[in-house]
Amino acid sequence: MIFKVGCHVSIAGSLEKSVERAENIGCTTFQIFTGNPRGWNAKDISEKDVGDFTGKLENSHISPVVAHMPYLPNLATPKPDLYKKSCDVLIREIERCSLLKVPYLVTHLGSHLGKGRDEGVQRTVEALSGAVESVKSDVMILLENTAGTKNSIGGTLEDIGEILDTAGKTKRIGTCFDTCHAFAAGYDLSTEKGFNETISGYDTCIGLDRLKVVHLNDAKGECNSRLDRHEHIGLGKIGDEGLKRVVNHPKLRELAFILETPVDKKRGDIENVSHARELFDE
């Protein structure tokens, strides 16, 4: 069985170079931004860009590729101008993923900015439903859980479950589970009991069948710290044993595992991907 593990890879220079970078790291899956992650605008994707990227990908045996939304959009915001821009970017990113034959688009759900959870959830549902209606595509939007920081939407499994239920039974919306975020939000993945309770809760509130991608990250902060700081695999508070349970769970082990770990003097992407692979029972 192939362990689908990789990391977030740069598209600097061209989209197709991300495939080469992923291969050099040893990825069997990887994640990209389709454009500038820190701006509202994105350079158009040409037919040549599409051909070069998809052609390189077909010859790489890497699958699937995952895209991530840029940082600026906030699907839960009460501010009308920011909300419209955020919805427009979501639609644009679905279209770009469709061009590139990228099946999954991960999105954070944003912040209600103090206006209350219920209003934030409703705004998010409307944004997601509007995007699904606007773009006819096979691309699946994946809702990522957050670290439970103040005013954020998605820090609890109940948040995400309610959004999915309210949005209706569409196959166009799934989920992405971030281990660092979950741990920071109070889901103790470092113990067998905490892990089992989290997985059971996930299945009850959301449904494990909706889960398509795992962001496999260790955590710098303590459980329930609300600290969104990723650590190298096995060197954080979740640890090797906790992450080993994640990658080997029978309902998770066939999913795509994406690392968003630091690059510093301790380790880089190659070392973290290799270490994650050591945790997987063939």
pLDDT at 212 over 90: yes
Range of the domain at 169: 5-279
pLDDT band at 94 (very low <50, low <70, confident <90, very high): very high
Asked if the bond preceding 80 is cis, omega within 30° of 0, the reply is no
Looking at residue 134, what is its pLDDT?
95
The encoded tokens of residue 134 equal 């606007």
* Structure confidence by residue, pLDDT tens digits, 224-259: 999 999 999 999 999 999 999 999 999 999 999 999
Quick check: is 162 catalytic? Answer: no
**Can you tell me the distance from the alpha carbon of 64 to that of 190, in angstroms, rounded to the nearest whole number?**
28
> What CATH number is given to the structural domain containing 150?
3.20.20.150
Quick check: is 144 catalytic? Answer: yes
**Can you tell me the distance from the alpha carbon of 75 to that of 28, in angstroms, rounded to the nearest whole number?**
31
Q: How many structural domains is the chain composed of?
A: 1
Choose the catalytic residue: 112, 181, 232, 275: 181
Q: Kindly write down the DSSP assignment for every residue of 101-120, as one continuous string.
A: T--EEEE---B-TTS-HHHH
Average pLDDT over residues 27-41: 97
Choose the catalytic residue: 58, 71, 192, 254: 71
Looking at residue 148, what is its pLDDT?
96
Q: How many CA atoms lie within 13 A of 94 on its CB side?
A: 24
Choose the catalytic residue: 16, 23, 162, 178: 178
**Can you tell me the distance from the alpha carbon of 63 to that of 55, in angstroms, rounded to the nearest whole number?**
13
What CA dihedral angle connects 16, 17, 20 and 26, to 10 degrees? -110
Looking at residue 168, what is its pLDDT?
83
SS3 (DSSP) at 173:
strand
